[in-house]
């Protein structure tokens, strides 16, 4: 059984309020995919890291870090919220996300897959498939058997 849980973390209060239900879910299902961030903007518009203990409680098996062009991110943010983030802020935010993901990965000994959303879809799927097979130790021959080969 797998569940996809999408969480948009917008404040520290919200972050604390989701921890208990997420912990309960992870105890009851095999896999949880959490969509969120390692950093947030505080009320002054400064990038701040989410405390690593939050991620320790989630006990992830791996991290998939999505990267995109500044222009694409700027457009998505504007469509979603009407806000217009500057290019410098987006670049810095992406660098900080990568840094925090890498630090947490090293600290916990879990793998990180960086997906560049500007790559072609076939390459993204190939990289993601390989990462998930390695993460869950799925042999390549299972794919072949499923296709009847």
Per-residue pLDDT reduced to its tens digit, 26-54:
455 455 566 778 888 888 889 999 888 88
| C-alpha span between 31 and 23 (Å, rounded) | 12
Answer whether 63's CB lies under 8 Å from 111's CB: yes
Answer whether 63's CB lies under 8 Å from 28's CB: no
**What is residue 34's predicted lDDT score, i.e. its pLDDT?**
66
Least confident of 76-90, 96-110, 129-143: 129-143
Q: What is the mean pLDDT of residues 121-145?
A: 75
What is the chain's mean pLDDT, rounded?
75
Cα-Cα-Cα-Cα dihedral sign, residues 35, 11, 96, 118: positive
| C-alpha span between 36 and 133 (Å, rounded) | 22
| C-alpha span between 6 and 25 (Å, rounded) | 13
Per-residue pLDDT reduced to its tens digit, 8-32:
333 333 444 444 444 554 455 455 5
């Amino acid at each position: 059984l797998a569940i996809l849980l999408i969480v948009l973390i917008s404040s520290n209060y919200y972050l604390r309020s989701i921890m208990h239900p997420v912990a309960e879910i992870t105890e009851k299902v095999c896999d949880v995919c959490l969509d969120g961030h390692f950093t947030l903007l505080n009320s002054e518009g400064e990038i701040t890291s989410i405390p690593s203990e939050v991620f320790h409680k989630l006990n992830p098996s791996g991290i998939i870090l999505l990267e995109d062009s500044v222009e694409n991110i700027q457009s998505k943010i504007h469509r979603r919220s009407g806000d217009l983030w500057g290019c410098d802020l987006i670049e810095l935010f992406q660098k900080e996300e990568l840094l925090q993901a890498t630090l947490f990965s090293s600290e916990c000994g879990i793998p990180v897959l960086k997906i560049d959303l500007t790559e072609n879809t076939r390459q993204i799927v190939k990289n993601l498939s390989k990462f998930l097979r390695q993460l869950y130790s799925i042999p390549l021959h299972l794919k072949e058997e499923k296709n009847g080969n």
